[in-house]
Structure 1
């Protein structure tokens, strides 16, 4: 699993959000001071939310193959242009488990962050977002979208303070090398508390 960390004055960093599965229970949960929850915002009306979800799913699907092939994360932002149309910033390439990008100085038109979890890695719990994925978006005050090697898409809701599956396994292109593991333990919704519980730290 990979995480999205937003440093508001410098960079957005997407990096490994959990320790390797074999040692995950031995690693303490550390939440950077720069990533503390901000007051909640209002969720978009259902029709608008569905439109944003569809845009996010389509866009993430369009970059999923390359992200998997290159075995690296891609990251960026969704925003509305001057005509009110949904757009995406050009994906920035990261490493297998990290991705750095500048935070735009103008943030009032940003709808959500996005990042891929890239290729399957058996040592990572990368079918779910991380606590830092959630807290980073909360800090910036926007939603977030995450695609996984198994082809899931998650939406981090700043208003609801949770992450929920927009769609499940295979709803976007999945890594041919993906190996399902404990799929019955992947919930439809997570909070920071339940993700921390899942990680066993």
Structure 2
């Protein structure tokens, strides 16, 4: 994505995914990283549901948009929220680019519980089987969880309470890219902290 201005950052929630692998020519990644908000800030209502009920909804929904995301070689992003009747629902997916996705910044009172986004199609030049550092920072900024699906069919939870990300389910638990190559799978941990990802992706 192109570098964003301060005014645009105030109106957009950014996910920059698939951090390029060191030494490999890649598409440009986002030039701006969101900074964590004040401790305790959250757009999520205190009584909002969490845990397996939301995890399972997120996994099913991401599975439903995986094939399109892979075909388009584009990320898709949006929010999981509570409807007016208290049911879980996902906002209409927004199509991003190969390496990122932009959507309106969440606000308190909108019923938002978490973000979601896909990592699109497989590409050897991108480390997109794990969330990016900006994925974590963006969710942490708004005090909410996030869900990320990968080309290999993994689903990750960005957990704002523990400030970590962990695999909810592994390789092939949602639709995966038929062209996916598992040569890097041995290096993928079940969980990461932000410093872990910074070291893995060389981003500080």
Specify if TM > 0.5. yes
2:80 aligns with one of 66, 78, 81: 78
Q: 1:142 to 1:195 in 2, by over 3 A?
A: same
Secondary structure of the equivalent of 1:51?
Answer: helix
Structure 2 counterpart of 1:116: 118
Structure 1 counterpart of 2:60: 58
Could you tell me how far apart the structure 2 residues matched to 1:87 and 1:199 are?
33
Secondary structure of the equivalent of 1:181?
Answer: helix
Q: Is the 8 A contact 1:76 1:113 kept in 2?
A: yes
Q: 1:104 to 1:200 in 2, by over 3 A?
A: closer
For this pair of structures, how many residues does the alignment match? 187
Q: Is the 8 A contact 2:151 2:180 kept in 1?
A: yes
1:102 aligns with one of 101, 104, 107: 104
Q: Is the 8 A contact 1:17 1:132 kept in 2?
A: no
Q: Is the 8 A contact 1:38 1:141 kept in 2?
A: no
Cα distance, 1:18 vs structure 2: 1.9
Supply the RMSD in Å over aligned alpha carbons.
2.5
Could you tell me how far apart the structure 2 residues matched to 1:17 and 1:70 are?
15
Q: Is the 8 A contact 2:24 2:125 kept in 1?
A: no
Secondary structure of the equivalent of 2:10?
Answer: coil
Structure 1 counterpart of 2:20: 19
Structure 2 counterpart of 1:125: 127
Structure 2 counterpart of 1:35: 35
Scaled by the length of structure 2, the TM-score of the pair is 0.82
Q: Is the 8 A contact 1:38 1:138 kept in 2?
A: no
Q: Is the 8 A contact 1:60 1:147 kept in 2?
A: yes
Deviations 1:2-24 (A, max 9, x none): xxxxx762112233452344259
Deviations 1:76-102 (A, max 9, x none): 000011222111000001111121211
Could you tell me how far apart the structure 2 residues matched to 1:156 and 1:58 are?
17
